[in-house]
């Protein structure tokens, strides 16, 4: 059977070259920057690098439904930029390294059909429930039915994170999800929110003050934080926190959007597989892929998520053995080439891949220069590299991110076409 050709959506090179970003909130910029075009040479071929501020990273300009924290995730504005230019309503958008679900949630909000995959089961736990949003009254009613047993004992010491009653409430939720044979969308939503609220650095988390919620530190390190800050865990009402976070997540969502998301969920495909082996996805079926792969051994996904895995009865060692955490560029490249071959198979003719990578090892390794040859070898055409250059505020500088001098303040996206 001949593959269905995807009609030409957009001249992406012309778009990137002529793009001018208008920040309506910044009244002090007299003239928005224009695109700077540089070139990347791979062998005897030259590919353009388009450098500009193509989108803002301001969280308040993204839908509230995205506000689920996860390590090393990109902002929703990144997939939106490509989705609105390279797809139409009803097209299929896919993310093979789904994480918290940024790409597929944004695609669903824009009325695209979605496919999500992540080898870590947490990916589906954090993303799938947001396509089937329950009413607050339904969440309240279900929480009221979950029995809290204040005599439960944890299999690990969590006293450095939680007050004893809070810990019992968490253990009761954990037990409920483990023992309930058939969970519905309300259960899935509650589990997602509870997973997100396990640890964090404000009163609206179950834990005492700790690292931001995208990273759970070790029990030993938390004990040291408690000692330095002279703090100890206080009681947190877990059910009340779950309800508050639920309301926060859907504050930008109306009934019409809830209905649209539910309809998209009915045909959505959620996988929990190695991105090299996704035979459930038909050949030539995907219009656009927007993704960001695991970067060598820089982000320890299982270490950062050990507490979330514990709560959801996920074996961290089993997950760790599956996740690609290569220590060398050569090893990483071999695996990513196999991924690209699979992406080529599932992408429609004239479909696109936006592959977000970054500068690692203090800028000594630019992964876009590694990725371009891999995509070409897999038979893709390379349209170029988009470099989204951010201008950080003084607040960002406090965290050691200075304008194009230190830290990661750019997105580097290699754009391929089939």
Q: Domain limits of the chain?
A: 12-123+267-417, 136-248
pLDDT the model gives residue 407: 40
**Range with the poorest average pLDDT among 146-150, 271-275, 358-362:** 358-362
Q: Where does residue 329 rank: exposed (0-12), middle (13-18), buried (19+ CB within 10 A)?
A: middle
pLDDT the model gives residue 21: 74
pLDDT the model gives residue 91: 97
CATH of domain 12-123+267-417: 3.40.50.150
Mean pLDDT of 186-200: 97
pLDDT the model gives residue 70: 79
Banded model confidence at residue 72, pLDDT cuts 50, 70, 90:
low
Banded model confidence at residue 197, pLDDT cuts 50, 70, 90:
very high
At 376-387, the pLDDT tens digits run 999 999 999 999
Packed helices 238-249 and 136-145: angle between N→C axes, nearest 10 degrees? 160
- H or E stretch including 347? strand 347-357
Beta-carbon contacts of 102 under 8 Å, excluding residues fewer than 6 positions away, are 66, 73, 74, 75, 76, 78, 79, 95
Beta-carbon contacts of 79 under 8 Å, excluding residues fewer than 6 positions away, are 93, 95, 102, 103, 106, 107, 290, 354
At 15-52, the pLDDT tens digits run 888 887 765 455 444 566 788 999 999 989 999 999 99
pTM of the predicted model as reported, rounded to 2 decimal places:
0.90
Radius of gyration of the chain (CA): 22
- The percentage of the chain sitting over the pLDDT mark of 90, rounded to a whole number, equals 68
Banded model confidence at residue 394, pLDDT cuts 50, 70, 90:
very low
At 232-269, the pLDDT tens digits run 999 999 999 999 999 999 999 999 999 999 999 999 99
Above 80 in pLDDT, residue 358?
Answer: no
């Amino acid at each position: 059977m001949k593959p269905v050709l995807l009609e030409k959506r957009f001249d992406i090179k012309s778009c990137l070259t002529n793009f001018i970003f208008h920040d309506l909130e910044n009244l002090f910029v007299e003239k928005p920057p224009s695109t700077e075009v540089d070139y990347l040479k791979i062998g005897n071929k030259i590919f353009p690098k388009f450098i500009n501020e193509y989108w803002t990273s301001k969280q308040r300009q993204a839908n509230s439904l995205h506000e689920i924290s996860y390590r090393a995730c990109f902002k929703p504005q990144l997939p939106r930029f490509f989705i609105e230019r390279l797809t139409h309503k009803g097209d299929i958008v896919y993310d093979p390294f789904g994480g918290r679900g940024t790409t597929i949630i944004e695609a669903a909000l824009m009325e695209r059909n979605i496919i999500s995959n992540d080898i870590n089961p947490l990916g589906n736990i954090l993303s799938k429930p947001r396509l089937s949003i329950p009413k607050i009254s339904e969440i309240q009613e279900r929480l009221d039915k979950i029995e809290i047993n204040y005599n439960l004992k944890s299999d690990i010491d969590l006293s450095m994170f939680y007050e004893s009653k809070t810990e019992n409430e968490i253990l009761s939720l954990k037990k409920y999800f483990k023992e309930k044979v058939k969970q519905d969308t309300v259960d899935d939503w509650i589990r997602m929110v509870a997973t997100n609220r396990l640890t964090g650095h404000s009163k609206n988390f179950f834990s005492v003050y700790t690292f931001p919620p995208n990273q759970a530190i070790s029990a030993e390190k938390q004990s040291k934080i408690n000692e330095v800050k002279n703090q100890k865990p206080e009681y947190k009402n877990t059910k009340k926190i779950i309800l508050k976070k639920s309301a926060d997540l859907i504050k930008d969502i109306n009934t019409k959007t809830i209905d649209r998301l539910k309809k998209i969920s009915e045909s959505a495909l959620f996988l929990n597989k190695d991105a090299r082996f996704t035979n459930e996805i038909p050949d030539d079926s995907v219009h656009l892929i927007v993704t960001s792969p695991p970067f060598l051994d820089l982000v320890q996904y299982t270490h950062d998520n050990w507490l979330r895995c514990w709560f959801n009865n996920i074996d961290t060692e089993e997950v760790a053995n599956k996740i690609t955490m290569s220590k060398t560029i050569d090893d990483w490249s071999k695996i990513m080439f196999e991924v690209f071959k699979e992406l080529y198979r599932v992408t429609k003719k004239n479909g696109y891949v936006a592959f977000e990578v970054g500068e690692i090892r203090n800028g000594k390794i630019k992964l876009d220069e590694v990725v371009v040859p891999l995509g070409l070898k897999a038979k893709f055409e390379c349209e170029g590299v988009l470099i989204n250059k951010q201008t950080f505020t003084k607040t960002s500088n406090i965290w050691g991110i200075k304008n194009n001098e230190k830290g990661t303040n750019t997105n580097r996206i290699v754009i391929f076409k089939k």
